[in-house]
Structure 1
Amino acid sequence: MNIIETFYSAFGRGDAQTMEACYHPEAEFTDEVFVGLKGKEVPAMWKMLIERSKGELEITYSHVQANEQGGSADWVAVYIFSATGRRVINRIHAEFEFKDGKIYRHTDSFDLHKWAAQAIGFKGKLLGGTAFFRKKVQKTAREGLNRYISRNFSA
């Protein structure tokens, strides 16, 4: 099993510890919501998302390609969005760069407008494609992650 399959298999089991072990200590992550995460922020984000899902998270992955330098995969997350209680089916494409046999750069791409329509409903459908909405979601996500990290990983 390659590092990408190990990562998504662990994600599907809610195993944040194994997911963290897949990342290089200097890893970077970006997607439509979480932008420019570095180092310990990356596994903390996954741990937070797993905890928020309260066991209602279904992960499937396909089209995994990998070599020593990097790889890609398509994956689907089905979950209940905690802020609204709405069911989301998010289809994501992931690109990876490896360093020292671990995930060094991880970029996920998905349709934020489609996500917003599912997660938020009418307002998300109406505003989900705007730059204003994207910035607001990114700011809210970053603040939530910062609070999570300060509560769970501070000395």
Structure 2
Amino acid sequence: MLIKEHVALIEKFYTAFNEKDAKTMTACYHKDLEFEDPAFGVLDYDQASAMWAMLLSGNNDIEIAFKNAWSENEFGGVDWEAKYPFSKTGRKVHNVIDAKFEFKDGLIVGHRDYFDFYKWSRMALGLPGILLGWTDYLHKKVQTQCASMLDKYMTENR
């Protein structure tokens, strides 16, 4: 069974993302949200909300495209892409992501982004990504750096 409201919510989220509107993106999330992706790991509602605000506040060159939004019962998904210069290196990244969702009370309560971390690290980091992007070491290092950046952003923007 296709849930049109859930598809509309996914489309609202990514339209807001493309328009760099973190406030509208966050309004699509349930307070019990659990977000997860390979770079940031697992985040709660406050952390995920701050992550989107942080990513959008510092990157006017990000381009978002999405397609194939779907929903069946309390689950859904979308294919999306992000093109942007990676802030630490200035290298161009074209990340292709498969997002999966869970819904509760008409909002997104689970959001998981899946992408090839090794492919991303090669684009974003260059030689270090080529040499170490397949290792747990680099993956954990990136997650630690992302957590540190997010904590700093949240502290400065309370």
TM-score, normalisation: structure 1 = 0.95
Out of 80, 85, 97, the position equivalent to 2:85 is: 80
Q: CA deviation at 1:43?
A: 1.1
Please state if 1:36 is matched with 2:42: yes
CA distance in 1, matches of 2:116, 2:130: 12
Q: Is the 8 A contact 1:2 1:66 kept in 2?
A: no
User: In structure 1, the residue corresponding to 2:145 is in which secondary structure?
Assistant: helix
Q: Which runs of 5+ in 2 are unaligned?
A: 1-6
Q: CA deviation at 1:68?
A: 4.4
Please state if 1:139 is matched with 2:115: no
Out of 9, 18, 40, the position equivalent to 1:12 is: 18
Q: Which runs of 5+ in 1 are unaligned?
A: none
CA distance in 2, matches of 1:56, 1:116: 19
Q: CA deviation at 1:51?
A: 1.2
Q: Between Structure 1 and Structure 2, how many residues are aligned?
A: 152
Query: After superposition, what is the alpha-carbon deviation per residue over 1:13-46, rounded to whole angstroms, capped at 9, x for unaligned?
Result: 0011100100001111000011110121111101
* Runs of 4+ residues over 2 Å off in structure 1: none
Equivalent residue number for residue 133 of structure 2: 128
Q: Is the 8 A contact 1:68 1:101 kept in 2?
A: no
Equivalent residue number for residue 151 of structure 1: 156
Mean Cα deviation higher: 64-73 or 113-122 = 64-73
Please state if 1:2 is matched with 2:37: no
Mean Cα deviation higher: 4-13 or 43-52 = 43-52
Percent sequence identity is: 44
CA distance in 2, matches of 1:113, 1:67: 31
Q: Is the 8 A contact 1:5 1:64 kept in 2?
A: yes
TM-score, normalisation: structure 2 = 0.93
* Letter paired with 1:117: R
User: In structure 1, the residue corresponding to 2:39 is in which secondary structure?
Assistant: coil
